[in-house]
Amino acid sequence: MSSEAPAAAASCSSAAAGGGLGKQQRRRLAAFDFDHTIVSQNTDTVVRDLLPAQLISSTLLNELMENDCWTEYMSEVFRLLHVQQVSEARIRDTIRCIPEVPGFVRLIKHLKQRLHFDLIIISDSNSVFIDEWLRAHNLCDCFDAIFTNPAHFDEHGQLQVRPHHRQTDCKLSASNLCKGRVLEHFVIEQDLRFNIRYDHVFYIGDGNNDICPVLRQRACDFACARQGFAMERHLLKNRHKLKLRANLLIWRSGFELLDQLCALPQLQGPAQSQAELARRASAIVGSASGSG
């Protein structure tokens, strides 16, 4: 395995479950995009729009956007927000107030608590925004890892962001984040470090930068594309040319996607987390002791 396996960037994400190479664990994984997938807007542009319109249309920002330098673009946005005395509290409050895509809080909790999925986020947003939103919606404990651009507020109150990684190999992805590479490395690391094998991997997204990870999926996996967005249009138009192996699911809301997932024959089995199995075993032992 490559030594470049990425680290989770958001502070509220828990470490991946497991520890040591014991008996092989069979699990299911759901990997989520964030902007326009879990939340209904783009977190970066929502915060950018706190700037005056004339700054948003400035020559420097336009050049950074045209040159596909998104992390550098957002770094300049955050610098301008600081110059404009937009406070950390206002930025955080703006993020907390972004609504979910309808049904996604319920979907995430159901997958984690009822269907015992491992859940991760792979996003071109940043760790501060994702962490803030998840905390506001009591979802931090649901995610095993979060892969995004690391960010923090410095001692002056300016938001600093840096790229998740640097890559030039994948032409489908931005230079700062290849989601396909991140997903592959996570799955491999779970296998090698924790002896966890995923029977099915579900990738849930909306945009063009979500194409790369689904093209790396197996025939037993599921590509879940939001209806009416770029990922769906690209996959439907070029499905055979792209040689998509994964099963394609189209969704309009978290409610609809949850209904589709719950109806899949592949999810009718009793796959349970090790923690759930341990709880059930403890309950049985306790009941037997009490009856004795």
Going by the annotation, the residues of the binding site for substrate are 44, 124
Tokens standing for residue 66:
């045209």
Helix segments in the chain, DSSP class H: 43-48, 53-56, 59-66, 70-83, 88-96, 104-109, 127-136, 179-194, 211-215, 230-242, 254-262, 274-291
Q: Could you tell me the CA-to-CA distances from 291 to 159, 197, 221, 278, 280 in Å, in that order?
A: 59, 38, 45, 20, 17
From the list 35, 131, 144, 221, the catalytic residue is 35
Q: Does 154 qualify as catalytic in the annotation?
A: no
Q: What are the binding residues?
A: 33, 35, 44, 124, 206
Q: Does 259 qualify as catalytic in the annotation?
A: no
Backbone angles phi, psi at 160, to 5 degrees: -110, 140
Q: What are the binding residues for Mg(2+)?
A: 33, 35, 206
Q: Which of 173, 157, 272 is nearest to 213 (CA)?
A: 173
d(CA 77, CA 44): 9
Q: Could you tell me the CA-to-CA distances from 185 to 47, 180, 218, 285 in Å, in that order?
A: 31, 9, 15, 38
Please give the span between the terminal C-alpha atoms of the chain, in angstroms, as a whole number: 51
> What residue type is assigned to position 144 of the chain?
D
d(CA 211, CA 244): 10
With DSSP H G I counted as helix, E B as strand and the rest as coil, what are the percentages for the chain, rounded to 5? Answer: 45, 20, 35
Q: How far is C-alpha 99 from the chain's CA centre?
A: 17
Listing DSSP states for 168-184 in one string gives -S-TTSBTTB-HHHHHH
How many other C-beta atoms are found inside a 10 Å radius of the C-beta of residue 126? 27
Which active-site residues does the annotation give?
33, 35
